[in-house]
Chain A
Amino acid sequence: MKYLIVLLLGLVVGSAAAGAVLYYNPFLVTADGVPNPSDRVLHYSLPDDVLAFSFGNDARYFGSDPGDDGLWEETIDRTAVLGLVLNDDDNQPAAVASRLMAVSPDSNLLMRGVVVSDYWLVTFPGQGTLFVRADTNAWRFLKEALLPVWFLDRPWNGPSEYWPTVGPGTDDNGVVVGLSGDFRGSEGSVVERYELTTLDPHRQSALAEGELRLNLDLSGPQVAVQP
């Protein structure tokens, strides 16, 4: 009996030590992006510019109920679908985006963090449609904001800025491909930046200002890439 207690105690101590290592894991620290002055910047505010948001039971960031119309099926319960208006620098609507998100198979808490595969369709009315593919690392947001503030009721030291894009293109950028209209055949890179401006679990309030920064070569080859 004494050995069993010691064994269990040892397992708990070992697991706790590993948990601390994971929490402060230096491999999961990602560098902030550097703004490129030639980027075309599209802006969004959350939740003001959200057209629709559906998510599965296991994709709940803020503990909200996905409801009867949510993505409840087992095959899509770690998936989310977001409709969004994107604005230009003058804060005028410039595009409508559909953002399909799913937890990436590349996620691991030891070397990469919690990676979300992001698939955007961005349509500029009268101009054309872009496909944006990005890997988004949610670990820093989860570790610094969501877990301690939203779920553990710790004080928040915000506002906080995040550059979550970690691939799959070169230099940890996402990939953008022109599908139709003026963008057809073009290709380029993309990064996302957002600033969490309010996080108040008592008022159930989370506000953010985001940017999608596109660097698009409109004179690119007339062949779509396979990201």
Chain B
Amino acid sequence: MILKLKSFFVFALTSLSAPLRQFVPLGSGKPRSKPKRPFPLARFATVLALGFFCAAGAAEATCASSARVAEIAPGVFVRPGRHGVVFEAPEIANVGFVIGERCVAVIDSGGSYAEGESLRCAVRRRTALPVCFVINTHVHPDHMLGNLAFKSSQTSFVGHSKLPRALALRGDTYLQRAASSAGEGLGPEHIVAPDRSVEGTLDLDLGNRTLQVTAHSTAHTDNDVSVLDLKTDTLWLGDLVFMQHVPVLDGSLNGWLEVLGALMARPARRVVPGHGPVQAEWPVAADDTLRYLSLLREETRRWLANGGDLRRGQNQVGYQEAPRWQLFERHHKRNVTAAVNEIEWEN
């Protein structure tokens, strides 16, 4: 029965025209009072709209299907992101999990409750062990709006010591913007702040497997952490490294270049970038980000030294990078703006 329903809805979804599809996510406002036990129909609509096919009528803990994940190293799973703009497209960032002998750590939870659910289902398919940690690499919604799907007494949320403030400053805006794209407001429970904050480094024990979480100084944002799985020497970088998707500067240009330089000096067997392939070689994976940021800094400095202003600079600085990146036209002007705002106070 469920199967038949499923195939019907798959058909319905794929045959919907683009404008009609905008009306599908009516149920995606998410239950406000009982987030873990959503009204089945509303949940079904949400799940459907986002292209996931978890069982609708089944009890809340079971999953008919789940996010597709790649096992890039023993016990290390990544759900690949697809390049898109936050609040316009789902499943943008690379997110995933690491399985130990005692429990599981999720590293970033995705851009919505539905994405979080789908990732939770992916964990369930592979292990019955509890999720003891959800680590958020930084504040951006494509990395943390799925947190709510993991909220339980067994799960601790881990983030940079500056993450709570960043969430406080931006959370309401995220909820509103998620609202305008889904048709209904998201309740404040969708912002799940860390209960364990990281300054310096923090070791998390998953049972015969240690994840080392490192808090960085201001770079991509002011609340970036990276996560190293010591067992496989896999380094999760969050958005400290972008591949294919143009980097987004929301912290400090000078700071990011400094943090990136320090990270590149340290070898790793493989890295997981926040956007791009599910795994990449280190440190060559950072080459594109490093080149883009260096050029942005150099050209911004030159632009300002020649008396250039922000308005014209937004259309002039760094454009030789355009053909090298996806979503360049959606983020580059923002990056120039942030760069000017920082560099003009350099001395």
A and B part of one assembly: no
* Chain B residues in the interface with A (C-beta under 8 A): none
